[in-house]
Amino acid sequence: MLYRLNQQQLARIMMPLGEYNKDEVRELAAEYELPIHDKPDSQEICFVPDGDYTNFLDRHFDSPGEPGPIYYVDGEKIGEHEGLYNYTIGQRRGLGISLDHPVYVLEIDSENNALIVGPREKLSSRGLIAEDINWIHFEEIPDSLQVEVKIRYNDTPVAATVYPEEDGRARIEFSGNRDAVAPGQSAVFYRNDLVLGGGIIEKAINP
């Protein structure tokens, strides 16, 4: 999340544990008999401790999502979904579809309450368009920039070229195709361990 901050904000951040790695913090917590010293790691939402987001939405909202059509990538209707909140880009299991080949969620069409599915190869993208770009490291943005980019928090960084565009957008071209580029996720730009900036994925660029 640091990529959303600017230099003025970063200059005022205090990180009292900044000199320690996670194992050292756990050792200190055990030494001071803090009950959290052996708590499992978590990068989930703190108020959904079991990680079951759909159950959380079901408990707190009368109707978090309505059923709607599932379309194959060619436009043929092949099923019904149980509410778009139950699905993510790249999902395979839980679709309730039986075909002669595996299918994956390719697109979540919230405007039409529809789910678009297709074969795995259709998940592949050669790049993406990101919006709401925030640059930490630059005052003047170059015409293009060689970076490593992550498209989800637990992703492996991949080499890419960033081409800044107007209106706070950027086009990112991967060195090799990537699967399951999901609109709404963050794309974050790195150079080794330096966070250069990032933005919100608007759409994938298909091969």
CATH no. for residue 96?
A: 2.30.30.280
From 92, 121, 90, select the one nearest 106 (Cα to Cα).
90
pTM, entire model: 0.84
Q: Report if residue 54 sits inside a domain.
A: no
Question: pLDDT value at position 67?
Answer: 95
In a shared domain, residues 83 and 109: yes
Q: How many other CB atoms sit within 10 Å of the CB of residue 15?
A: 7
Write out residues in the chain with pLDDT < 70, as ranges: 43
Question: pLDDT value at position 21?
Answer: 92
Which secondary-structure segment (H or E) carries 105?
A: strand 104-109
**Terminal CA-to-CA distance of the chain, rounded, Å?**
29
By percentage, how much of the chain surpasses pLDDT 90? 72
Question: pLDDT value at position 113?
Answer: 97
In a shared domain, residues 129 and 199: yes
Question: pLDDT value at position 42?
Answer: 73
From 160, 147, 154, select the one nearest 194 (Cα to Cα).
147
Q: How many other CB atoms sit within 10 Å of the CB of residue 13?
A: 9
Q: Report if residue 182 sits inside a domain.
A: yes
- Range of the structural domain that residue 72 is part of: 60-118
Among 68, 96, 118, where does a domain finish? 118
